[in-house]
Structure 1
Amino acid sequence: MNTVTRPRILVVGAGFAGVECVRRLERKLSPDEADVTLVTPFAYQLYLPLLPQVASGVLTPQSIAVSLRRSKKYRTRIIPGGAIGVDLKAKVCVIRTITDRIVNEPYDYIVLAPGSITRTFDIPGLTEHAFGMKTLAEAAYIRDHVISQLDLADASQDPEERASRLQFVVVGGGYAGTETAACLQRLTHAAVKRYPRLDPGLIKWHLIDIAPKLMPELGEKLGSSAQEILRRRGIEISLGTSIAKAGPEEVTFTDGRVVPTRTLIWTAGVVASPLIATLGAETVKGRLAVAPEMNLPGNDGVFALGDSAAVPDLAKGDDSAMCPPTAQHALRQGRHVADNVIATLRGQAMKPYVHKDLGLVVDLGGTDAVSKPLGIELRGLPAQAVARGYHWSALRTNVAKTRVMTNWLLNAVAGDDFVRTGFQARKAARLKDFEYTDAYLTPEQVREHVEGTGRQE
């Protein structure tokens, strides 16, 4: 069959959903059936749930970043860049490569799995002074930053400077925020023993959230257990509270408190990738509204899944229920949407996506954890075993599993290390610097670009 006549399948995003979809397509499609292309700015799949452990130094960055080019069997073409617009009518995806070149990529079938970005609000100083916890670079940067605060506080003769450098604020009482605060607090608690000039009592961690409870999905008992663990460690938890404004050396809470700090970590939820807004299609709370088969109604060959798609959660029996943006749904949706793409390609019927949630795990570092697998509430070591067992099994390759297990064992035996690598040490980087939210086009700009350049450059 001539190469030009083969259907072109374009997958956008190399997260859980996108990579699982590509792997399934490669396994089930013969080379002559279709050409598969993957668009991603990074040549790896990131295991997001373990980012807090990278930030705290328990895991190395490489251990949770799985190379997309590791297998010699992969035949997918990878475009190093990010999709910044999609013209559904012309069937063209506009891509900005990592060298800032704008290219058009025509497709016959497109799978949209661009993931999500950190949700921010119009709070003065937030994007200029806060850190996020959404990318590998952010996790590595935050680790360096937190250790540098200890170094600078130790060297300072100014009591006020010391106080501001030794206070840390985490906004967001979900899984990311809670685990980030828990893991980094353990890091500073262990590290301060190496700083005899610092009073351990000066180190203060604040975890705040506008909601009345931490991680309400865990239920009343487990949520209370998690709060008790954190408070016992000295983390100050403030619920029903958020940030009124942020500055370089202090943060003002909505309850009027002013906390001197040089570290504000913002993990207050996520929103769908701005790419979804370029389609001009119907959305549900910013996520693309799709059918249970994960196809976009009225648009042939368009599929969406993961954090950026509002996929009906049929397992709950509620017409308004949508699948939560979790790894376990993204993994299964990736495989399922690949099957539906293949079914469409072969003229077969698609199947709706149905998956019952397997439960939740929260790793609080050390021997502390709370988990709820299949509705069973666990605490302490049993919960920790389930949490780490789940994460370990979800890693895609044996190499990644070996690296993570080795890191865990080494940390358990040798303890934490406090190496500061100097990553971007002389250049401040905050939330706005890591997530390129200003790179996307409007629907009108997409159409003008495609019409002006043609379907293919």
Structure 2
Amino acid sequence: MNTVTRPRILVVGAGFAGVGCVRRLERRLSPNEADVTLVTPSAYQLYLPLLPQVASGVLTPQSIAVSLRRSRRYRTRIIPGGAIGVDLKAKVCVVRTVTDRIVEESYDYIVMAPGSVTRTFDIPGLTDHAFGMKTLAEAAYIRDHVITQLDLADASEDPAERAARLQFVVVGGGYAGTETAACLQRLTHAAVKRYPRLDPSLIKWHLIDIAPKLMPELGDKLGRAAQEVLTRRGIEISLGVSIAKAGPEEVTFTDGRVVPTHTLIWTAGVVASPLMATLGAETVKGRLAVTPEMCLPGYDGVFALGDSAAVPDLAKDDGAVCPPTAQHAMRQGRRVAENVIATLRGEPMRPYEHRDLGLVVDLGGTDAVSKPLGVELHGLPAQVVARGYHLGALRTNVAKTRVATNWLLNAIAGDDFVRTGFQARKPAKLKDFEYTDAYMTPEQVREHVERGAGAGTGQP
């Protein structure tokens, strides 16, 4: 079959949803049945749930960055860049490559799984002074930054500066914020033993959230158990509180408190990728409204899933949509691939249905809370379940081995608390890692496609 006439399947995003879809397509499609192209800035799948352990040094960055090129069935063409606009009528995706070239990629079928970005609010100084925890680079940078604060505090002769550098603020009482605060507090607690000039009592961690409960999805019992673990470690938890403004050396809480600090980590939720706004289609709180088969109504060959799609949750009767979790994204990726193949072959599509496997929260060491299949656990049994789940969810045996080995080495040998100098002396806040201003408006997409800029190249 001539390659020019093969159906072109374009997958946007290499998160759990996008990679799950690509891998199923590679397994189920014959080599001459269709051409598969993936748009992603990096040729790896990031295992997001373990980012806090990279930030704390328990895991190396490479261990949770799973290469997309290791599969024996690998034949997908990868465009290194990000989709910044889609013209659904012309069936063209506009891509900004990692070299800042703007190219167009035509498709017959498109699977949109661009994931999410950090949710921010119009808080003075937030994007200029806060760190995020959404990318591998951010996690690696935060580790360097936290160790740098210990180094600078140890060298300082100014008591006020020393105290400010040893205070850390994490905003967000969900899974990401709770695990980040827990893991980084363990990092500073262990590291301060190498700094005899520092008083350990000066190190203070604050975890704040506007919600009245910590991780409400876990239920009252496990939420309280997690809160007790963090409080026992000395983490100050403030609920019903957020940030009023952020500066380079202090943060003001909405309850009026001013905390001198050089470290503000923002993990207060996520929102759908701005790519969804370029489509001119119906959205639900920013997520693209799709059918249970994850199709976009009114457009043939358009599928959306994961954090950026409002996929109906058929397990509930109240019109709910699936939450933006890795568990749903992985399953949706496989189902979308099956539906794309069914469409190619003229077969009926199937809706996405699921059975909830539960939740796990790793608080470091032997501390964890988990709820597998509705069974509430905490302490060591919960930690065994949490780490077992993560190992099972990692896509390759190489990744599983690396993560397990890192856990074992860290438990036996600890950490050397070495700074790598990653992006030293360069800005590395929220606005520097998430390029949310790079997307086109629907009008700009149409104008660009009509001009035919880069048409027919599809090359980075």
Same fold (TM over 0.5): yes
Q: Which residue of 1 aligns with 2:307?
A: 307
Instruction: Quote how far apart the aligned CAs of 1:2 are.
Output: 1.1
**Paired residues of 1:306 and 1:330 also in contact (CA < 8 A):** yes
**Paired residues of 2:27 and 2:73 also in contact (CA < 8 A):** no
SS at match of 1:17: helix
Q: Which residue of 2 aligns with 1:338?
A: 337
Q: Which residue of 2 aligns with 1:127?
A: 127
Q: Which residue of 1 aligns with 2:13?
A: 13
Q: Please give the residue correspondences for 1:424-435 in structure 2 after superposition, counting only pairs within 5 Å.
A: 424-435=423-434
Q: Which residue of 2 aligns with 1:298?
A: 298
SS at match of 1:187: helix
Q: Which residue of 1 aligns with 2:285?
A: 285
Distance 2:423 2:149 in 1: 14
Q: Which amino acid aligns with 1:362?
A: V
SS at match of 1:360: strand
Distance 2:130 2:355 in 1: 36
Identity %: 88
Matched, 1:437 2:449: no
Q: Once superposed, which parts of structure 1, at least 4 consecutive aligned residues long, lie more than 4 Å away?
A: none
Q: Which residue of 1 aligns with 2:155?
A: 155
SS at match of 2:139: helix
Deviations 1:299-329 (A, max 9, x none): 00000000000000001232x2110111110
Deviations 1:262-288 (A, max 9, x none): 000000000000000000100000000
Instruction: Quote how far apart the aligned CAs of 1:72 are.
Output: 4.4
Q: Which amino acid aligns with 1:328?
A: Q
Distance 2:292 2:326 in 1: 18
**Paired residues of 2:174 and 2:268 also in contact (CA < 8 A):** yes
Q: Which amino acid aligns with 2:10?
A: L
Which of 281-290 and 407-416 deviates more?
407-416
Q: Please give the residue correspondences for 1:104-119 in structure 2 after superposition, counting only pairs within 5 Å.
A: 104-119=104-119
Q: Please give the residue correspondences for 1:205-354 in structure 2 after superposition, counting only pairs within 5 Å.
A: 205-318=205-318, 320-354=319-353
Deviations 1:19-60 (A, max 9, x none): 010010011111111000000000100000000000000000
Instruction: Quote how far apart the aligned CAs of 1:456 are.
Output: 2.5
Q: Which amino acid aligns with 1:135?
A: T
Q: Which residue of 2 aligns with 1:405?
A: 404
**Paired residues of 1:93 and 1:104 also in contact (CA < 8 A):** yes
The aligned length equals 456
> TM-score normalized by structure 2?
0.98
> TM-score normalized by structure 1?
0.99
Which of 308-317 and 132-141 deviates more?
308-317
Distance 2:365 2:255 in 1: 33
**Paired residues of 2:9 and 2:35 also in contact (CA < 8 A):** yes
**Paired residues of 1:174 and 1:269 also in contact (CA < 8 A):** yes
**Paired residues of 2:165 and 2:262 also in contact (CA < 8 A):** yes
Q: Mark the runs of 5 or more structure 1 residues left unpaired by the alignment.
A: none
CA RMSD across the alignment: 0.7
SS at match of 2:328: helix
Instruction: Quote how far apart the aligned CAs of 1:332 are.
Output: 0.4
Distance 1:416 1:257 in 2: 34
Q: Which amino acid aligns with 2:21?
A: C
**Paired residues of 1:57 and 1:417 also in contact (CA < 8 A):** no
Q: Please give the residue correspondences for 1:51-130 in structure 2 after superposition, counting only pairs within 5 Å.
A: 51-130=51-130
SS at match of 2:359: strand
**Paired residues of 1:80 and 1:97 also in contact (CA < 8 A):** yes
Distance 2:109 2:224 in 1: 47
Q: Mark the runs of 5 or more structure 2 residues left unpaired by the alignment.
A: none
Distance 1:98 1:357 in 2: 37
Distance 1:354 1:427 in 2: 46
Distance 2:202 2:78 in 1: 49
Distance 2:48 2:7 in 1: 32
Distance 1:89 1:313 in 2: 28
Q: Which amino acid aligns with 2:40?
A: T
Deviations 1:217-267 (A, max 9, x none): 000100000000000000000000000000000000000000000000000
**Paired residues of 1:168 and 1:205 also in contact (CA < 8 A):** yes
